[in-house]
């Protein structure tokens, strides 16, 4: 492409004239396939009006299709099911197809992953992965994208998520309100932002209640594993540090705690109260059913996809972010069956 005199024509000027975002303009100028033809034409028309030679751009044209890639860390994790359904609903409503892909996204796998984006000629990307800042920056320059659930918030990449700190704090405060004082925490790997934030919320609730932090009752798992959670909870329950409650950073870990309590000859919730997180289907299938923090999973997927479609279209909108409300659903692991109720998030 001829860039003669381009220094005099700034991206900002093209953006102001066309109403297209600077990121999308960059993709047009760099001949990225991930731009719709109508958007490419608007950018080219604006550049022509500013006196720029666009002949090489017009010769290339666009071959973008209507495929959105939804990338998740693991197809085995039931948490993503409703999120995917929500994203698919938004995609179909707007004339897009969606491919659910299970891949890590890091420096090591970056080239392989971007090869997938090229081969599928994807129009946009939704990620739920734990991705480092450098890789996120490279990806966002390559393709329109939105972060869903797991995100880095202080970047110019939009996201839809929940306030994990507040949600965790509210859950632990509820356990404290029931008179529980030794509240153990089962947490996932700290490489994930949600795990960092839920730990922070747990500690905030203890501090506000003047309950001293006890590292001996914080179970920090190095990988996402039901069996490891059962083993660690069982060991804790049969030690001198026995808790009177568990707060688990997922419903899977809460189910693991139930199993460990039973193995120890104790009862839920009489001896040990348990609160989970996510409100996946498992939480109602367990006996006793799990008190848990509900995430609006369908809406998380739906709004992430709607936000992405706006970016694919090149719509000039501010980098937007969205925090969805959560709700504490009280069930049998903290109450007798006759006392089930639902508590809204404060």
Q: In whole angstroms, what is the distance from residue 322 CA to residue 153 CA? A: 10
- The answer to whether 345 and 166 are in contact (CB under 8 A) is yes
Where in the sequence is the domain holding 259, given as residue range(s)?
A: 164-295+327-344
Tell me, what's the pLDDT at 32?
66
Q: Tell how strand 218-220 and strand 321-324 pair up.
A: unpaired
**Beta-bridge partners for 36:** none
Does pLDDT of 325 surpass 50?
yes
In this prediction, residues 163-191 reach a mean pLDDT of: 97
Confidence tier at 154 by pLDDT (50, 70, 90): confident
Q: In whole angstroms, what is the distance from residue 282 CA to residue 308 CA? A: 30
Establish if 314 belongs to a structural domain. no
Establish if 228 belongs to a structural domain. yes
Confidence tier at 254 by pLDDT (50, 70, 90): very high
- Of 60, 75, 96, the residue at which a domain comes to its end is 60
Residues 53 and 168 in one domain: no
- Of 60, 76, 93, the residue at which a domain comes to its end is 60
Establish if 273 belongs to a structural domain. yes
Does pLDDT of 9 surpass 50?
no
Does pLDDT of 341 surpass 60?
no
Q: In whole angstroms, what is the distance from residue 15 CA to residue 7 CA? A: 15
Does pLDDT of 228 surpass 50?
yes
- The answer to whether 70 and 100 are in contact (CB under 8 A) is yes
Tell me, what's the pLDDT at 319?
63
Q: Tokens 């932002």: give the residue.
A: 193
**Torsion, Cα of 77, 80, 84, 86 (10° steps):** 150
Establish if 240 belongs to a structural domain. yes
Tell me, what's the pLDDT at 346?
42
Tell me, what's the pLDDT at 278?
97
Can you give the length of the chain in residues? 346
Tell me, what's the pLDDT at 344?
44
CA 110 → CA 129, 132, 144, 145, distances in Å?
13, 11, 16, 15
Higher pLDDT, 59 or 111: 111
Does pLDDT of 342 surpass 70?
no
How many domains is the chain built from? 2
Q: Tell how strand 327-330 and strand 321-324 pair up.
A: unpaired
Q: In whole angstroms, what is the distance from residue 239 CA to residue 255 CA? A: 20
- Compute how many other C-beta atoms are within 10 angstroms of the C-beta atom of residue 103: 15
Tell me, what's the pLDDT at 316?
59
- Of 40, 60, 80, the residue at which a domain comes to its end is 60
Q: In whole angstroms, what is the distance from residue 47 CA to residue 13 CA? A: 9
Does pLDDT of 5 surpass 90?
no
How does 156-188 read in b/e, with b if 16+ C-beta sit within 10 Å?
Answer: ebbbbbbbbbbbbbbbbbbbbeeebeebbbbbb
- Give the pLDDT confidence of 23-76 residue by residue, as tens digits: 788 777 766 666 777 888 888 888 778 766 665 555 444 445 789 999 999 888
Tell me, what's the pLDDT at 131?
94
- The answer to whether 323 and 162 are in contact (CB under 8 A) is yes
Establish if 75 belongs to a structural domain. no
Tell me, what's the pLDDT at 53?
61
Establish if 40 belongs to a structural domain. yes
DSSP assignment of 134-174 equals: HHHHHHHHHS-EEEESS--SSSSS-EEEE-HHHHHHHHHHH
Q: From the CA atom positions of the chain, what is the Rg in Å?
A: 24
Provide the H-helix boundaries in 264-296.
282-285
The enclosing domain of 42 has a CATH number of 1.10.260.40
Establish if 260 belongs to a structural domain. yes
Tell me, what's the pLDDT at 10?
61
Exposed/middle/buried for 222, CB within 10 Å: 0-12, 13-18, 19+? exposed
In this prediction, residues 234-240 reach a mean pLDDT of: 97
In this prediction, residues 110-136 reach a mean pLDDT of: 92
Establish if 135 belongs to a structural domain. no
Does pLDDT of 197 surpass 90?
yes
Exposed/middle/buried for 227, CB within 10 Å: 0-12, 13-18, 19+? exposed
- Give the pLDDT confidence of 263-308 residue by residue, as tens digits: 999 999 999 999 999 999 999 999 999 999 999 999 999 999 999 9
Tell me, what's the pLDDT at 56?
52
**Beta-bridge partners for 327:** 294, 344
Tell me, what's the pLDDT at 332?
97
């Amino acid at each position: 492409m001829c860039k003669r005199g381009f220094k005099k024509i700034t991206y900002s000027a093209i953006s102001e004239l066309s109403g297209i975002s600077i990121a999308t303009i960059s993709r047009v100028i760099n001949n990225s396939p991930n731009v719709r033809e109508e958007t490419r034409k608007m950018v080219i028309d604006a550049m022509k009006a500013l006196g720029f030679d666009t002949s090489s751009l017009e010769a290339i044209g666009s071959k973008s299709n209507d495929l959105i890639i939804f990338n998740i860390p693991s197809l085995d994790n039931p948490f993503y099911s409703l999120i995917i359904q929500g994203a698919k609903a938004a995609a179909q409503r707007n004339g897009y197809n969606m491919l659910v892909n299970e891949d890590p996204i890091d420096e090591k796998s970056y080239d392989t992953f971007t090869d997938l984006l090229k081969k599928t000629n994807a129009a946009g990307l939704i990620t739920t992965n734990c991705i480092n800042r450098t890789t996120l920056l490279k990806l966002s320059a390559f393709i329109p994208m939105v972060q869903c659930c797991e995100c880095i918030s202080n970047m110019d990449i939009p996201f839809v998520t929940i306030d994990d700190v507040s949600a965790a704090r509210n859950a632990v405060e509820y356990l404290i309100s029931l008179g529980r004082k030794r509240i153990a925490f089962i947490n996932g790997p700290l490489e994930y932002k949600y795990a960092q934030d839920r730990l922070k919320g747990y500690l905030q609730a203890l501090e506000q209640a003047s309950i001293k932090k006890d590292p001996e009752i914080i179970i920090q798992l190095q990988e996402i594993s039901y069996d490891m959670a059962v083993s660690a909870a069982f060991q804790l329950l049969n030690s001198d540090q026995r808790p009177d409650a568990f707060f688990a950073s997922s419903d899977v870990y809460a189910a693991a705690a139930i199993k460990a309590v039973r193995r120890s000859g104790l009862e839920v919730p009489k001896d040990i109260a348990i609160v989970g997180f996510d409100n996946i289907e498992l939480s109602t299938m367990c006996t006793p059913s799990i008190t848990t923090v509900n995430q609006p999973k369908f809406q998380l997927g739906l709004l992430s996809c709607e936000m992405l479609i706006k970016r694919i279209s090149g719509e000039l909108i501010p980098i937007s972010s969205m925090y969805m409300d959560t709700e504490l659903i009280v069930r049998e692991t903290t109450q007798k069956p006759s006392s089930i109720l639902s508590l809204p998030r404060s």
